[in-house]
Chain A
């Protein structure tokens, strides 16, 4: 099934290890924590794949005044969401890139540029192609100890891909085996991740 790419926002700022995406309220319904996204430049530069690991919704003085009101009017709530230009900001961890048809599971040579469009990867073919090679899991684990909630990110991502791949239990189990291999000396991340996965995807029948 070919799903049309869903633009979820544009790059605000970027570095080699990740980038931030700004979006409007009405773009927030589709992407979520753990979603696979890509910064897709129009010209011939790398397409950079990443996982959403944080979604930030800022306030300002006006919002702070309005939350103190007992029952904010619906007109005011709609005004805040549709008319005021406070972007929602999503933080993305880079996990690979593609140039022409070549996928590489490493940090990109160049980050995306400001205002490059960012799309949500929903097409099962594209997601399957990217996730067939589990090398990118090393890049997620590399972020352990930073502000990235690695254990929860792994759970959300594996669950998300499992569903997009049509409840592909074989893939999910191979991802889990890869994680066990990579985290065999880091039980602090491994055990909570496996416990959370067994709850999130009970049909895998993991016993921790």
Chain B
């Protein structure tokens, strides 16, 4: 059915007016936080003292802030990249899935993990690996880790776990090379399942996640999580928290999104960072990071912002664990290699693009998989059918053909 745009005209007008008002509020708010950043740019002890008090006052569940990790670089200045090492091994991975569908001919789900080991400075072809996992009712029922599920959120959870475990495995089996090793994930390092997921399964995945982080550290590699166009506001919250001694300050105000007028940390650093520059490293302050630290203090997550390209808001957040963040040479290496990778394609790391491409399971792959299963079933004298609901959708969405005449 074609969208009837006339019915939406009035809503679109109101939306555009509200967006315009929001932009004006944001500009005003941004000027205020930039002034705050400049005022506290090198006030390390004062920031630590005030944030320390804010943490005590705040509800740990909702308070998400940051403190600068190093006291060597002003907060309102960018740090240019160093030259990358002559040689390095960069491993990236990504995952995709086919979720269970009651209307499909068969009940199954598939997780596909793609990994690439890129040998920077070698001139050699990277190594690529894929690891597909097919699960269906009845498979390995005795192993409670392998129980089939119809819950697509759970499938996503397991995909995340398989990703970081594949990263750890690939670091171990990448070709021996000189230079540092860097493992990159295409998501946040401070992994926490979305709310609403089965608690026990979520906890198992978080535990496995942290074990993999530890494994990567023990292999001697650096680890980073790369987040494109992040929405984090921890540095903004830090800046607002520095008003703790102002009259009328309420820590509960810091949990309200209205305070930020739609801004995030990258709006703060957008006018500050030149292409290739990064922000100082911050320690993430949050309940989840407290949990990470409690299990293994080396896994406590820090982050910095990196301008990857010349366009507006072309910034990424790079999460790094404490064992990387604490060592300025490691940070320089991560910064230099990531920016070098972004330069290959323009503004996004080449290895992550390739890992995504290797992992992706497209519609044609899915059709091919289901055809092959159907053929095998046919060999056994069985038939597979989709539900009438799915069949009618396929009819309605099917393509049109034209009578060609003579």
| Tally of contact residues, B, Cβ under 8 A | 19
Number of A-B contacts defined by CB within 8 Å = 43
Q: How distant is A86 from chain B, measured CB to nearest CB, in Å? A: 11
B77 contacts A by Cβ under 8 Å: no
B158 contacts A by Cβ under 8 Å: no
Closest to B348 in A: A65
Among B116, B126, B343, residue most surrounded by chain A Cβ atoms (within 10 Å): B126
A69, A81, A83: which contacts B344 (Cβ < 8 A)? A69
Q: Decide: A83 near B350, CB < 8 A? Known: A74-B123, A75-B120, A76-B344.
A: no
Closest to A76 in B: B344
B123, B128, B346: which contacts A75 (Cβ < 8 A)? B123
Q: Which residues 339-381 of B have a CB within 8 angstroms of A?
A: 343-346, 350, 353-354, 357
Q: Which residues 74-98 of A have a CB within 8 angstroms of B?
A: 74-76, 78-79, 81-84
Query: Could you tell me if A65 and B346 are in contact, using CB atoms closer than 8 angstroms?
Result: yes
What is the bound-complex CA distance between A74 and B121, given in angstroms? 8
Q: How distant is B86 from chain A, measured CB to nearest CB, in Å? A: 13
Query: Could you tell me if A75 and B119 are in contact, using CB atoms closer than 8 angstroms?
Result: yes
Judged by DSSP, the binding face of B is: mixed
Query: Could you tell me if B346 and A78 are in contact, using CB atoms closer than 8 angstroms?
Result: no
Query: Could you tell me if B353 and A75 are in contact, using CB atoms closer than 8 angstroms?
Result: no
Contacts of A69 in B (CB 8 A): 343-346
Closest to B353 in A: A62
Query: Could you tell me if B124 and A75 are in contact, using CB atoms closer than 8 angstroms?
Result: yes
Judged by DSSP, the binding face of A is: helix
Q: Which residues 248-303 of B have a CB within 8 angstroms of A?
A: none
A66 contacts B by Cβ under 8 Å: yes
Q: Which residues 102-122 of B have a CB within 8 angstroms of A?
A: 116, 118-122
What is the bound-complex CA distance between A33 and B363, given in angstroms? 36
Q: How distant is B286 from chain A, measured CB to nearest CB, in Å? A: 36
A129 contacts B by Cβ under 8 Å: no
Query: Could you tell me if A83 and B128 are in contact, using CB atoms closer than 8 angstroms?
Result: yes
Contacts of B123 in A (CB 8 A): 74-75, 78
What is the bound-complex CA distance between A76 and B123, given in angstroms? 8
Contacts of A3 in B (CB 8 A): none
Q: How distant is B365 from chain A, measured CB to nearest CB, in Å? A: 12
B122, B125, B343: which contacts A83 (Cβ < 8 A)? B125
What is the bound-complex CA distance between A165 and B345, given in angstroms? 49
What is the bound-complex CA distance between A93 and B350, given in angstroms? 40
Contacts of A68 in B (CB 8 A): 346
What is the bound-complex CA distance between A41 and B14, given in angstroms? 67
Query: Could you tell me if A75 and B125 are in contact, using CB atoms closer than 8 angstroms?
Result: yes
A interface footprint on B132-161 (CB within 8 Å = 1, 0 otherwise) = 000000000000000000000000000000
Query: Could you tell me if B344 and A73 are in contact, using CB atoms closer than 8 angstroms?
Result: yes
What is the bound-complex CA distance between A78 and B124, given in angstroms? 7
Contacts of B346 in A (CB 8 A): 65, 68-69
Q: Decide: A75 near B357, CB < 8 A? Known: A69-B344, A82-B125, A83-B128.
A: no
What is the bound-complex CA distance between A75 and B122, given in angstroms? 7
What is the bound-complex CA distance between A76 and B345, given in angstroms? 10
Query: Could you tell me if A75 and B126 are in contact, using CB atoms closer than 8 angstroms?
Result: yes
A interface footprint on B372-397 (CB within 8 Å = 1, 0 otherwise) = 00000000000000000000000000
Query: Could you tell me if A66 and B345 are in contact, using CB atoms closer than 8 angstroms?
Result: yes
Query: Could you tell me if B126 and A83 are in contact, using CB atoms closer than 8 angstroms?
Result: yes
Query: Could you tell me if B344 and A62 are in contact, using CB atoms closer than 8 angstroms?
Result: no
What is the bound-complex CA distance between A65 and B343, given in angstroms? 11
Query: Could you tell me if B357 and A62 are in contact, using CB atoms closer than 8 angstroms?
Result: yes
Closest to A83 in B: B128
B interface footprint on A46-62 (CB within 8 Å = 1, 0 otherwise) = 00000000000000001
Q: How distant is A81 from chain B, measured CB to nearest CB, in Å? A: 8
What is the bound-complex CA distance between A72 and B345, given in angstroms? 9
Q: How distant is A184 from chain B, measured CB to nearest CB, in Å? A: 36
Contacts of B124 in A (CB 8 A): 74-75, 78
Q: How distant is B152 from chain A, measured CB to nearest CB, in Å? A: 28
What is the bound-complex CA distance between A81 and B128, given in angstroms? 13
Would you mind naming 23 contact pairs between A and B with Cβ atoms under 8 Å apart? A69-B343, A69-B345, A69-B346, A72-B344, A73-B344, A74-B123, A74-B124, A75-B118, A75-B120, A75-B125, A75-B126, A76-B350, A78-B123, A78-B125, A78-B126, A79-B116, A79-B126, A79-B354, A81-B125, A82-B125, A83-B125, A83-B126, A83-B354
- Identify the B interface with A (CB < 8 A): 116, 118-126, 128, 343-346, 350, 353-354, 357
**Top 3 nearest A-B pairs by Cβ distance?**
A78-B125, A74-B123, A82-B125
